[in-house]
Amino acid sequence: MKRVLLGMSGGVDSSVAAFLLQKEGYEVVGATMALWDFKDGNKDTSIEDARVVCNKLKIDHHVLDFREDFKDLVVDNFIDEYFAGKTPNPCVFCNKTIKFGLLFDKARELGCDYVATGHYALVDFNEKSGKYEIKKASSDSKDQTYVLYNLNQEKLARTLFPIGKYDKDTIRDMAKEIGLEVHNKPDSQDICFIPDHDYEAFLKENSKKKVEVGNFVDRSGKVLGRHKGIISYTIGQRKGLGITFGKPTYVVAINGQDKSIVLGDNDDLFKTSLTARDVNFVEWSQDEVVGPIDVYAKVRYAAKPAQAKVTYIGKYRVRVDFVEPQRAITSGQSVVFYSEDRLLGGGIIE
């Protein structure tokens, strides 16, 4: 019997994943990752909820204390990027370093053949190419492939996504049918370590760096006023600027060097190209990519894929040229590449 280590958050998705893996004949071992110490009455029930599910399904349950690693690898990067004027996506880093990094190490330690998670995604082996492919989930509205572009062939050969072919309603119905108390547990929202969504307060509380005020400027460099610190703003922001011009005005650029924020019109937010670093392709190494690649690219999690060409311009760096201009391309976010329902890869927008 093949043994699989399942990352369990205590939510309905990973709980039903455990049940489905058992149905498929796997020996399931549950693992809940302790990632952050919550304050101000924000209670994390994930460990206890997962333990209850494991008891119900009669599977072993491990609690993995990754708090120090999570802070070093995910949270500190999140803070550093914000103070540099960027808007990072910590879920991308967590999946790369924790869920498909440290969790894989633990799987080896526990003698598990596979690692599984409750992501809405699909893994398929292409007999013709001899490569593992990541495909979008059957439910487009729940698809989570955007955060999985850092996976490689070695990891995919040992990765299972049991719920990728189901929609959320079906998953909840299944959980209710088998008597799991988490069947109506709300979905997790946004960034797990900032449950109150107050990014500004979190950054000030958890960084030794001082927030520096700076200038609002127009595109020519003319000073328009003062802002309270670049950590409080993101590209495309219109509300909460604390300055009015009698017309809609947006953040169109953030300069981490001199701490200035460029304001402009909505039209100023549209760009036809970007560069990205730390690029990974799921099925190929950089040496295997010859010439520009035609893709559909997403510049943020909820963005609609847009037609583009991807060209390598250096080691793990690419230029992405769009057929149609894209709004509010944001440094620190990920640009992710697709071919129809197949995830090709991605990188961090510079």
List, for residues 193-210, the tens digit of each pLDDT value: 998 889 999 999 999 999
Evaluate whether residue 189 is within a structural domain.
no
Residues serving a catalytic function are 94, 192
Residue after which a domain boundary falls, among 221, 242, 265: 265
The verdict on 47 and 172 lying in the same domain is: yes
The verdict on 40 and 135 lying in the same domain is: yes
Annotated binding-site residue? 236 = no
- CATH of residue 227's domain is 2.30.30.280
Evaluate whether residue 192 is within a structural domain.
no
Query: Looking at the 3D structure of the chain, how many domains does it have?
Result: 3
Cα 224 → chain centroid: 35
The verdict on 158 and 129 lying in the same domain is: yes
Provide the token pair at 138: 């059957």
Residue 40's pLDDT is what? 62
Residue 189's pLDDT is what? 74
Annotated binding-site residue? 8 = yes
The verdict on 260 and 304 lying in the same domain is: no
Residue 287's pLDDT is what? 87
The verdict on 22 and 51 lying in the same domain is: yes
| CA 348 – CA 350 distance, rounded (Å) | 6
The verdict on 253 and 298 lying in the same domain is: no
Please name the residue ranges forming H helices in 100-147.
103-109
Evaluate whether residue 220 is within a structural domain.
yes
The verdict on 143 and 55 lying in the same domain is: yes
Residues with Cβ < 8 Å from 273, sequence gap 6 or more?
319, 320, 321, 322
Range of the structural domain that residue 112 is part of:
3-178
Annotated binding-site residue? 11 = yes
Annotated binding-site residue? 220 = no
Question: What would the pLDDT profile of 110-164 be if each residue is shown by its tens digit?
Answer: 999 999 999 999 999 999 999 999 999 999 999 999 999 999 999 999 999 999 9
Nearest to 119 by CA among 153, 154, 160: 160
Evaluate whether residue 103 is within a structural domain.
yes
Instruction: Please give the average per-residue pLDDT across 215-219, as a whole number.
Output: 97
The verdict on 64 and 118 lying in the same domain is: yes
Annotated binding-site residue? 345 = no
Is pLDDT of 247 > 70?
yes
The verdict on 29 and 69 lying in the same domain is: yes
Annotated binding-site residue? 264 = no
Strands 270-281 and 223-227: unpaired
What is the pTM for the complete model shown?
0.95
The verdict on 22 and 168 lying in the same domain is: yes
Is pLDDT of 231 > 60?
yes
The verdict on 162 and 258 lying in the same domain is: no
Evaluate whether residue 191 is within a structural domain.
no
The verdict on 240 and 258 lying in the same domain is: yes
Residue 157's pLDDT is what? 98
Residue 41's pLDDT is what? 55
- Backbone φ and ψ for 305, nearest 5 degrees, come out as -60, 135
Evaluate whether residue 319 is within a structural domain.
yes
- Could you count the other beta carbons within 10 Å of the beta carbon of residue 306? 16
Residue after which a domain boundary falls, among 227, 245, 265: 265
Tell me the one-letter amino acid at 155: K
Annotated binding-site residue? 118 = yes
Residue after which a domain boundary falls, among 265, 283, 310: 265
Calculate helix-pair angle for 168-177, 12-23, nearest 10 degrees. Answer: 70
Annotated binding-site residue? 279 = no
Question: What would the pLDDT profile of 325-341 be if each residue is shown by its tens digit?
Answer: 999 999 999 999 999 99
CA angle 29, 138, 120 (to 5 degrees): 35
